[in-house]
Amino acid sequence: MLRANAGIQGWQGKPGRLPAEETLQFEKKNSSHPPFRSVASFPLLQQRKRKRLPRRGGLQAAAPGHVRFFCGGVLIFGQNVSAFFHLPIEKRSPREFVRAIAGKLCPGERWRIFAMKQPFCTPAQALRRVLDAAAALPVPATERVPLDDACGRIAARDLCARMDQPPFDRSPLDGYALHSADTAGAGEETPVTLPVVMKLYAGDAPAAALPAGCAARIMTGAPLPPGADCVLMQELTDGGEEQVRIHAQLQPNANVVFRGEDIAAGAPIAAAGTVLTPAHIGVLAGQGIPDAEVFRPLTVGVLATGSELLEAGEAWAPGKIYDANGIQNAARLRQLGFAVERTHCSDDPEEIAARMKDLLTRCDAVITSGGVSVGQKDYLPTVLEMLHAEPVFAGVAQKPGSPMIATQVGEKLVFCLSGNPFAAAATLEQYAVPALLRAAGRREEDCIPVHTRGRLTTGFSKPSKGTRFLRARALGGLVEIPGEGNAEAHSSGSLSAMMGCNCLVELPAGSGPVDPGEEVEVLNFVQ
């Protein structure tokens, strides 16, 4: 049974257009698996010797019974063929292609035909595609929540100030409200003495204006009486209650917080799509606003596939492993404010499809891990065809996580991640998290991992033929790669090396080993 690692679309789905002047290369082996459903019966046109094609030309066999994608084209699956065939692909839909080659392949064979719309995309292309797909989804429902519950939620509409803050001119310190002209000539050796005619605390309202030649005892936060234009701190006086000796001269407006100085009525507090922080909550509370309209949290289904998986707490058995990907992905999504429904299932395409259908009825998006590569039990491409998924991208040119698939089922996003723990974690951060946050109502600029530069404190001993991402810890412009240069510590299957990491280091294609002291590109995880 031939299986493709990425980039496929069922021929019964949306056909699209095929690239002109491409070459199809495939291998078909004897298989004990039940045959595919019959699509058409074709006699053989010709057999040619197996040839090595350029890596960017068509499809290349990765191993017996497996096919790896390198460019667009049509892939034919079948049985009982052991040779390579080279067939020209004209600019036709899959159905047109079937008609064009009818009568040219072996009669009685069962075949399945797929079309790949594009080759592996770059990381930048993959991010752009998932963000665009997320932005095109319906806007989430909204709800009004008390400010006590609004921190971390996404504003559903623009929030603006409805009054000046502060609502009056006030004192920022304990001291005396004065007419600045009455302080002329005051100093340590030449104090000015003024009568104290009123005392004001925070919450008081001045009963009258401050007469010239007088002082008002005033505390932090209290409103200035009309007529006063400055405040002298208590430390520059004798602290008198009936009269006060002033030891400093002040200019007009000294030590005054003016009405609307913090925020003016009508000024923006948070634009729609902004994640509300404690500072936002404080400003809203200062406006007397009791609640905020926010988007309802999206619910994300997290599905780990694999007959080898056990749930934590189950008795271990030989050959089995505990599901780490599913619970780790779920924990990260909850950290970002998503509701999560988590489950796992065996390597059975019918069971996977049924479980995904069930999740899609209750969840706004689904994330899977496992089953997307080229193994004989990597069924996710088949499952996506069964669900009539529309591809967003299939395969991304990077390591780790290249087999990742992003699709859309109706108005729901589906992300199929690698089963390797770090590959799953990296692509979750790079593509799934930004898209889900965008779908949840966040502004796009707040969904994208921030790119910075950092200087390595540790190195990485392995060259990178293609774009590579390494887990890392960034702090204060310095970047530490775990493992002290040990490339094995960065295996896609390594789980413990991710602890404490808060970013990815991007090594461009063609990079050699990197040494401590080198400057590198850093992708900081979205918060």
Are 267 and 163 in contact, with CB atoms under 8 Å apart? no
**Within-domain flag for 253:** no
Q: Are residues 235 and 339 in the same domain?
A: no
d(CA 75, CA 117): 11
Length of the chain equals: 527
Q: Are residues 429 and 307 in the same domain?
A: yes
Q: Which residue has tokens 């994300």?
A: 300
Is residue 73 predicted with pLDDT exceeding 50? no
- Three-class DSSP category at 471: strand
**Within-domain flag for 267:** yes
Q: Can you give the C-alpha Rg of the chain in angstroms?
A: 33
pLDDT at 380: 87
Q: Are residues 438 and 495 in the same domain?
A: no
Are 424 and 329 in contact, with CB atoms under 8 Å apart? yes
Are 31 and 397 in contact, with CB atoms under 8 Å apart? no
- Three-class DSSP category at 464: strand
pLDDT tier at 425, thresholds 50, 70, 90: very high
**Within-domain flag for 439:** yes
pLDDT at 385: 85
Number of domains forming the structure of the chain = 5
Q: Structure pTM?
A: 0.73
Q: Are residues 15 and 133 in the same domain?
A: no
Is residue 98 predicted with pLDDT exceeding 60? no
Q: Which residue has tokens 């299932």?
A: 345
Specify the CATH number for the domain of residue 212. Answer: 2.170.190.11
Q: Which residue has tokens 């409200």?
A: 177
**Within-domain flag for 431:** yes
CA distances from 322 to 244, 284, 303, 355, 361 (A): 76, 46, 14, 19, 27
Q: What is the pLDDT of residues 502-515, one digit of tens each?
A: 999 999 999 999 99
Q: Which two tokens stand for residue 119?
A: 């080759």
User: 8-17, 391-400, 478-487, 512-521: lowest mean pLDDT where?
Assistant: 8-17
Q: Which residue has tokens 């257009």?
A: 17
Strands 450-456 and 478-480: parallel
Name which of 184, 391, 518 is nearest 380 in CA terms: 391
Are 130 and 406 in contact, with CB atoms under 8 Å apart? yes
Specify the CATH number for the domain of residue 484. Answer: 2.40.340.10
pLDDT tier at 319, thresholds 50, 70, 90: confident
Domain that holds residue 25: 3-116
- Three-class DSSP category at 364: coil
Question: H/E/C letters for each residue in 25-59?
Answer: EEECCCCCCCCCCCCCCCCCCCCCCCCCCCCCCCE
Q: Are residues 407 and 308 in the same domain?
A: yes
Is residue 184 predicted with pLDDT exceeding 80? yes
Contacts of 386 (CB under 8 A, 6+ apart): 349, 353
Name which of 174, 170, 184, 201 is nearest 246 in CA terms: 184
Q: What are phi and psi of 4, to 5 degrees?
A: -100, 145
Beta-bridge partner residues of 520: 454
Between these two residues, 1 and 188, which has the higher pLDDT value?
A: 188
Q: Which range has the top average pLDDT, 47-51, 54-58, 85-89, 415-419?
A: 415-419
Q: Are residues 60 and 188 in the same domain?
A: no
**What type of residue sits at position 126?**
A
CA distances from 200 to 87, 210, 212, 218, 397 (A): 92, 12, 17, 5, 68
Q: Are residues 421 and 472 in the same domain?
A: no
pLDDT at 221: 96
| Burial grade of 26 (CB within 10 A; 0-12, 13-18, 19 or more) | buried
Q: What is the pLDDT of residues 369-408, one digit of tens each?
A: 988 876 666 788 888 888 999 989 988 999 999 989 999 9
